């Protein structure tokens, strides 16, 4: 199989089975191997092992260690044992255990669509950061490329729902997914697991060794590798090109790979932890590599108009091997070698075949000093990734639209905070953060038949670069007042200031292409904005293991500049600019620990209004070329009720149940894209592409 070697052949792992309502989390069936493993406490934040009660679950949702049932936040916690039982080797699979969240990878744009409680930012525009923040060992990430990387050697995953601006900053108006990897153990330990998932024939191996290097220094090394052979059958065998011609570079469209969805992952993490008295320091270095056949290789056409039995391209050309069913079958063509040989950006990767890769390096350093009853913390992180993806963008054997989307990113993050733990009436948290991001997007497309460029002889439509720089800093504080052992009032807020710079330009434009930005006409822009997001929470403990809370919360996601796949001729810094997303609303919740610490229940009601949610619409230029335009939705409402319960009747067995009702809809979005068939009489307001 092209682009993926067969250098991983291990034993058979487990077949994942789960239920969306009730699941029995007993030790997993199937083949597995674990060698000489010892379990030891690896930090203050942990979910319970099989021998612990649910009372042991603690989180740091407020940057202080608290029992899950004492934290006035709607939260789900996934421990290391559950990660193994449910084969959570990808961040995207967290939705199996955390209701009301969906994480889906995307080919273009920001790389993912993260939805929580029915709200998400658009994923088609690379200029948009997600409304749900990803936090990896303290490194805040607002883009989704890391969803391609392996999830391995995890200690705990916390899913915090609703706005979390106070403690997690500007990119968390929808919520936070926090992943903490395992720390070194006080005694020597290690494990090795391996196997195979049968549907996609995914072979995987994971292992770690851990232990002390000296009385004060511990180390841990973890490795992960997997390879999937794919599970989607490509029915295309190559077709005579009815879209292009010899004059436009193609008379025959060869087929893409015969089996689609194949992937390979390699990852390693080194952890060093130093502890001496009131001071500790933890350094983690993650390196991860992903390789696949482009994320479009997972695409299936699952619906066609009643008058059309199979997918088609413009001009009414029907795909002879395509179908309109979700049946693990697809029809995907490659691209004529004539076009590829004249397109160096595409030919450079796997000789122009459908291909994707992502290289990630992420070091983090956490420093803690306990100064009496005040804990001082510094978290420093750096996130560097190099992403490549190219493939069929129309899902048919003809490959009328073919594109690549490559991205290079470097992000620096620093946070300082102080958290008190006084025995008296008052406690506080305070701190600030600084971040700098540098990201460049490289995009090119072959949009239908074009004669060769008069100067270069290239057949594709365009190549562009979109350079983005952003800098942000913030300061936050919270005061907690305990009126009694049962009643607590907490209030605070975060001030944020961010600036953005854009420099977008075409590096190539086919002389026969129309409607696109000409070469030599860059779009440059600068903008800055600031925000204050307050929050107040009232908590009541009618009993030690029962908590009721009410909260008013706000959140903020900075505006920026759109990074569309193609730059329209009429695009300017103003048409590419979009405004900030803001949210405010209320939440009421109750948590209880019952049945001698064997049962935890959580009931939450919420209502939040989002202003300016950035969304992307597909518009068509006068020449027929599609372009994506990002706009701010005027008003979006999400409201609902969630219930979760976890019961551990005996050691090694967990019964889970969850139910939720969610109503998320636009209250106002006058410039939204019209749905197919909508007319002016039924509310369509025609939009003009920039």
- According to DSSP, residue 5 is labeled -
What residues of the chain score a pLDDT lower than 50? Answer: 1-52, 688-690
Give the separation between CA 131 and CA 98, rounded to whole angstroms: 17
103: nearest Cα among 119, 92, 89, 118 = 92
Residues in the chain: 690
Asked whether 645 and 658 are in contact (CB, 8 A), the reply is yes
What is the structure's pLDDT at 348?
94
Question: How many Cβ atoms sit within 10 Å of the Cβ of residue 2?
Answer: 15
pLDDT 10s digits, 386-445: 999 999 988 899 999 999 999 999 999 999 999 999 999 999 999 999 999 999 999 999
Give the separation between CA 370 and CA 203, rounded to whole angstroms: 45
Give the separation between CA 516 and CA 521, rounded to whole angstroms: 11
Q: Is 22-191 a CATH 2.170.130.10 domain? A: yes
What is the structure's pLDDT at 395?
86
96: nearest Cα among 105, 106, 107, 85 = 85
What is the structure's pLDDT at 42?
32
Measured CA distances, 223 to 205, 271, 287 (Å): 8, 12, 10
Give the separation between CA 559 and CA 587, rounded to whole angstroms: 26
Q: Which residue has the tokens 């042991």?
A: 56
What is the structure's pLDDT at 258?
93
**pTM for this structure?**
0.86
Domain extents for the chain? 22-191
Query: 292 forms bridges with which residues in the sheet?
Result: 263, 356
Radius of gyration of the chain (CA): 26
523: nearest Cα among 141, 127, 254 = 127
What is the structure's pLDDT at 621?
55
Measured CA distances, 327 to 302, 319, 323, 331, 492 (Å): 8, 17, 9, 12, 51
Asked whether 376 and 368 are in contact (CB, 8 A), the reply is yes
Asked whether 619 and 687 are in contact (CB, 8 A), the reply is yes
What is the structure's pLDDT at 296?
84
What is the structure's pLDDT at 464?
96
- According to DSSP, residue 61 is labeled T
Q: Can you say how many angstroms the Cα of residue 206 is from the centroid of all Cα atoms in its chain?
A: 22
Q: What count of Cα atoms within 13 Å lies in the side-chain half-sphere of residue 569?
A: 11
């Amino acid at each position: 199989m092209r682009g993926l070697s067969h250098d991983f052949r291990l034993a058979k792992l487990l077949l994942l089975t789960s239920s969306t309502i009730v699941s029995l989390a007993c030790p997993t069936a199937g083949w597995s191997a674990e060698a000489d493993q010892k379990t030891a406490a690896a930090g203050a934040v942990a979910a319970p092992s099989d021998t612990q009660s649910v009372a042991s679950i603690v989180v740091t949702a407020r940057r202080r260690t608290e029992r899950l049932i004492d934290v006035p936040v709607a939260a789900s916690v996934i421990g290391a044992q559950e990660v193994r039982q449910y084969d959570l080797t990808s961040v995207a699979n967290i939705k199996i255990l955390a209701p009301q969240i969906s994480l889906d990878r995307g080919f273009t744009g920001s790389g993912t669509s993260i939805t929580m409680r029915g709200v998400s930012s658009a994923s088609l525009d690379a200029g948009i950061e997600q409304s749900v923040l990803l936090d990896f060992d303290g490194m805040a990430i607002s883009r989704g490329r890391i969803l391609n990387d392996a999830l391995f050697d995890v200690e705990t995953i916390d899913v915090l729902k609703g706005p979390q601006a106070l403690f997690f900053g500007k990119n968390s108006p929808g919520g936070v997914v926090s992943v903490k990897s395992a720390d070194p153990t006080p005694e020597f330990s290690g494990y090795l697991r391996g196997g195979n998932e049968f549907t996609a024939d995914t072979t995987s191996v994971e292992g770690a060794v851990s232990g002390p290097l000296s009385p004060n220094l511990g180390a841990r090394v973890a490795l992960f590798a997997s390879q999937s052979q794919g599970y989607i059958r490509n029915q295309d065998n190559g077709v005579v090109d009815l879209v292009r011609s010899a004059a436009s570079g193609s008379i025959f469209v060869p087929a893409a790979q015969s089996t689609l969805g194949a992937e390979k992952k390699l990852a390693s993490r080194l952890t060093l932890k130093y502890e001496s008295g009131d001071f500790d320091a933890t350094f983690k270095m993650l390196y991860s590599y992903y390789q696949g056949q482009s994320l479009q290789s997972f695409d299936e056409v699952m619906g066609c108009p009643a008058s059309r039995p199979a997918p088609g391209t413009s001009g009414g050309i029907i795909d002879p091997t395509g179908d309109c069913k979700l049946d693990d079958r697809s029809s995907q063509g490659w691209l004529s070698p004539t076009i590829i040989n004249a397109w160096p950006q595409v030919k450079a990767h796997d000789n122009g075949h459908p291909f994707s890769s992502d290289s990630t390096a992420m070091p983090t350093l956490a420093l803690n000093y306990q100064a009496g009853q005040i804990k001082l913390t510094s978290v420093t992180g750096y996130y560097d990734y190099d992403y490549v993806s190219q493939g069929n963008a129309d899902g048919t054997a003809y490959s009328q639209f073919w594109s690549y989307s490559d991205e290079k990113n470097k992000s620096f993050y620093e946070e300082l905070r102080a958290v008190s733990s006084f025995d008296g009436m008052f406690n506080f948290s305070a701190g600030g953060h600084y971040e700098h991001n540098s990201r460049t997007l490289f995009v090119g497309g072959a949009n239908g038949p074009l004669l060769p460029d008069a100067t270069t002889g290239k057949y594709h439509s365009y190549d562009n670069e979109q350079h983005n720089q952003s800098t942000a800093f913030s300061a936050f504080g919270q005061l907690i007042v305990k009126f009694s052992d049962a009643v607590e009032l907490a209030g605070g807020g975060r001030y944020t200031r961010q600036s953005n710079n854009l420099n977008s330009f075409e590096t190539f434009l086919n002389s026969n292409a129309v409607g696109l930005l000409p070469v030599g006409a860059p779009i440059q822009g600068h903008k800055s904005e600031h925000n204050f997001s307050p929050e107040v929470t009232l908590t009541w403990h009618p009993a030690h293991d029962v908590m009721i809370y009410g909260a008013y919360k706000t959140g903020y996601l900075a505006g920026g500049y759109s990074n569309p796949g193609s730059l329209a001729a009429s695009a300017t810094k103003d048409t590419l600019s979009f405004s900030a997303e803001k949210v405010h609303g209320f939440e009421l919740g109750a948590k209880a620990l019952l049945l001698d610490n064997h049962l935890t229940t959580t009931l939450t009601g919420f209502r939040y209004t989002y202003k300016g949610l950035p969304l992307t619409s597909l518009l068509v230029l006068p020449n027929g070329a599609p372009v994506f335009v990002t706009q701010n939705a005027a008003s979006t409402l999400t409201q609902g009720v969630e219930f979760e319960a976890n019961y551990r009747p005996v050691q090694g067995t967990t019964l889970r149940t969850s139910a939720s009702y969610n109503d998320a809809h636009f209250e106002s979005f006058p410039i939204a894209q019209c749905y197919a068939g909508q007319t002016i009489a039924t509310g369509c307001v025609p939009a003009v592409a920039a």
